[in-house]
Structure 1
Amino acid sequence: MKFARLTTVLAAFTLAVSTLPVGGAAAVTNPCRLPEGVLHSTALAARSAVACGAVGRLIDAGDGVALTVPQPGDSVTMDLLYPSGARTYSLTTDEQGRVSTGSAPAKHEPDNQFPDLAGQPGACDRDTYALRDYKWHSPWLFRTTWGTKLATNRQSDFDAAVRRSLANMTQGRNTCGMRGRNGASGALLGHTARQGNFVYVDGATTCGDRDHHSVIDEGDLPGGSFEATLAWTCTWSETRHGRTRAVEADIRMNSADYNWTYDPVNDPKCKPELPPDKDRWRYDVESVLTHEMGHVYGLVNLSADEDLNLTMYPGVRRCTGHMRTLGRGDVLGMQALYGLR
C-alpha cells in the first residue's frame, strides 16, 4: 500500500515537472518577451494576445491613450466629449487573439469661439449618420451612483434627466415631424454604490476591464478648466459567431471642471459670454447625456460643418438644450440600427 502511494506521488511530480516551460516562471507570464509598461500595438503584431500573456495589459490605442487588452472576441470603445470636439479610441481582440486599435478625432473648434449656427442647415435638413459595428440585442440596463447630483443637491433631478435622455434616443424625440420611435430599449434600474468602470493607471484615466455592471456617475476627468472633457463613455461589446453586440456601458459626467444646469434657457446663472467665465459657462445635463447615449447605442460622432445642429455633432453649445431633440440624421441612424417601431 505504501509502495502504491509513493508511486502515485512520484508520477504526479514527474508530470508536473514535464509540463513546466523552458525558461521558468518568467516564460509562463511573458512568453513573447513583451516590454514592461504600456504596450505599443506593434509589440504584438500578428501574435495572439493570449499566447503572449497580454490580455489585461495596457496598450496604446492612439495619441498615448491606453486601453486594456480584452478577452478574445471582446472590444472596448472609449468616447471623449469636449466642449468643442471629441475623440474616440477603440481596442479589439478578435477570436484568434489578435489585437487591433483605432482612434478618430471629431471636429474641434477653437476654444475661444462658439459653434456658429448662422448659415448652417437645420437639424431637420441633414440625414447624416454614422454607425458602430455593435448594437444592443437586449435592453441596456444601468444604475446611477449614489450621490450623483450635478447642478442641484437632488439626485432625483439627475435621475429625471437620465430618463429623459434615454427616451430621447429610444423614442427618437424630434421636432422634424418624423416618426422617431425605434427598436432600442433600456432602463434606469435605480442606484448603486459602485462607481463607473473608469480606472486610473500609469498616470492616466481609462476604461477598466468588463465588470458586468453599467453605471452613470459624476467625477473628475483629465484636464483643467476649459480644457477637460465634459463626459466620457466606455462601451464594451463582444463578437460571437460573427454577431457583435454591446454588453456594458458606463458614462461619467465631469463635475470637477464644469458647471451644469437642468434648465439652460431659464437658469439666471447661465450666460454663454466671452471672455470665459467658469461660473457662467453651464452645460445642459440632458443634452450631453443624450449625445453620450447615442454612443452607447452605436452612433458615431459627426464632423462636417453642415451637421452642426445634429445631436451627434460634438459641438456642445453652452446654456442651450439644442442636443435634447434629435435631428433627422440622428433619428435615421437609430432606426438603421434598431429598426422602426
Structure 2
Amino acid sequence: MATALVATFAAAPVNAATSPDGGEADCPSSLSVDAISRGVNAIECNLVGAEIRVDGLGLYVPEPGTGVSMEAIGELEAIHSEVSTSPDGVLSVEGDGPDVLRLAVNSAFVDSSLEDSHVSAQTDTREPDYSRCLENSATVNANWFIGYVEYELNTTENLPPGLSPAAWEALALESAETWSNGHNSCGLNYTQFDLNLFRLLNTTSNSNINADTSCGTNDGRSIVDFGPLDGTWLGWTCTWTNWVPGRPSYTIVDADVRIDSTRSNWTTSPNSSGCSGDYDIQALMTHEFGHFIGFGHVSEWGGADLTMSPELTPCDGSARLLGLGDLAVLSETY
C-alpha cells in the first residue's frame, strides 16, 4: 500500500511586530497552515528561529533566503516536510507529501520502450509483473550546486551491538558509492554522473538532529551518525538550503543523517537464514544518502521497490542498489 504522507501543524505564537513602513505587520495570532497559506512574513512577525511541529516532528523557521527540510522513515510511516523563508521574508511550509514525478528515462542507459512505466503514481495497486527495473517515479526536493559533496562519519559513538567502527565505515562508504557510481540491480550501465559523495573524515561530533525528532540549525557540517530517535523512526535526514539567484530551486548547503541507536533489530546480513524482523543498515543508509543529495520519497508498491520508496521491509536488502527511477533521477539531477 502507498504510504500516506500527511502533516499537521501545531499552533505557534506569533509576536506583534511592525512592517518596514512603520505600520503594524499583518501577523496572525497563531501560526497555522491556513495562516501560512495566506502569507506570513517571518521578518515582520519575528518568526525566524520559531519552531513548527509537523506530526510531532520539529523544524525551525530559517533565515530569509534559506530553507530546511526533513525526510523520516520508520517502521510504520514516512514523512516529508520543509520550511523555507524567501529573501523578502515570506514563509512557506510544505508537509503533505512530495509530488511524485514520472521521469522520461534517459535513452543512453535504458531501452526507450521502458520510458512509460506500467504503474501509476495515482494508484497503490501492485501488478503481478511489477519490477523496480521498470518503475521510473522520482521526487526531487533540492540538489547540491556542486557534485563534490563532503560528509563526516561518526564511527565511534552509539553503534549498535555487533557493528564495529570498521564495518560501519565500510557500509556507509558503499552506500555513498552506490549513488556516486549509479550501482543498480537492473544491469544498467551509465556513469556520466557529476556527483562524488566523499567522506571528509571520521568525527566524534554528532549530527544536528535532536533526540526529540527535530532538525537543528545549519552548522555548515554534514554529519552522519547513530543516535536516539523517538518512537518507531528508523532514520532521519535533515537538509539545509540557500536561495541562489538564477537557480530554479533552493540549493543544498548542509545535510545530516541519523540512524536510530535505541533499537537492537539491525542487521548487515538481510538475506541470512537468521534474519527475523531486522532492518538492513546498508539498505537504510543508501536510502538516507538519497535524501542527503536531495531526493524524496516515491511510490510504494509493497515489496522490493525503489531505493527511495517510503517503506523498508525487515530482512530486505534490495534498497542497497538503485532501481530504474533512482538511477533516472540521479542522471537528470547530477
Q: 1:157 to 1:306 in 2, by over 3 A?
A: closer
Q: Is the 8 A contact 2:186 2:323 kept in 1?
A: yes
C-alpha separation between the residues in 2 aligned to 1:186 and 1:307? Answer: 28
% same residue: 29
2:319 maps to: 323
Deviations 1:70-117 (A, max 9, x none): 1111111100101354110100101111111011348xxxxxxxx998
Deviations 1:212-243 (A, max 9, x none): 111111122111xxxx1110000111112132
Q: 1:40 to 1:239 in 2, by over 3 A?
A: same
**Structure 2 spans left out of the alignment, 5+ residues:** 1-15, 19-23, 99-123
1:261 maps to: 267
Q: Which amino acid aligns with 2:39?
A: A
Q: 1:299 to 1:174 in 2, by over 3 A?
A: same
2:228 maps to: 220
C-alpha separation between the residues in 1 aligned to 2:262 and 2:125? Answer: 27
Superposed displacement of residue 54, structure 1? 1.3
Superposed displacement of residue 269, structure 1? 3.8
Q: Is the 8 A contact 1:78 1:232 kept in 2?
A: yes
1:109 maps to: none
C-alpha separation between the residues in 2 aligned to 1:48 and 1:229? Answer: 33
Larger radius of gyration: 1
**Structure 1 spans left out of the alignment, 5+ residues:** 1-25, 107-114, 272-280
2:81 maps to: 89
C-alpha separation between the residues in 2 aligned to 1:56 and 1:219? Answer: 24
2:146 maps to: 137
CA-based RMSD of the aligned residues comes to 2.9
Q: Is the 8 A contact 1:117 1:309 kept in 2?
A: no
SS at match of 2:47: coil
Q: 1:192 to 1:35 in 2, by over 3 A?
A: farther
C-alpha separation between the residues in 2 aligned to 1:142 and 1:46? Answer: 36
Q: Is the 8 A contact 1:230 1:253 kept in 2?
A: yes
2:159 maps to: 149
C-alpha separation between the residues in 1 aligned to 2:133 and 2:284? Answer: 19
Which of 232, 238, 246 is matched with 2:236 structurally? 232
Which of 162, 187, 190 is matched with 2:198 structurally? 187
Superposed displacement of residue 33, structure 1? 9.7
Q: Is the 8 A contact 1:238 1:245 kept in 2?
A: yes
C-alpha separation between the residues in 2 aligned to 1:96 and 1:282? Answer: 47
1:270 maps to: 275
2:169 maps to: 159
Residues 67-78 of structure 1 correspond to what in structure 2 (within 5 A)? 67-78=59-70
Q: 1:308 to 1:105 in 2, by over 3 A?
A: farther
When the two structures are superposed, what TM-score results if normalisation uses the length of structure 1? 0.75
- Tell me which protein shows more helix as a share of its residues: 1
SS at match of 1:67: strand
Residues 123-134 of structure 1 correspond to what in structure 2 (within 5 A)? 123-134=132-143
Superposed displacement of residue 257, structure 1? 2.8
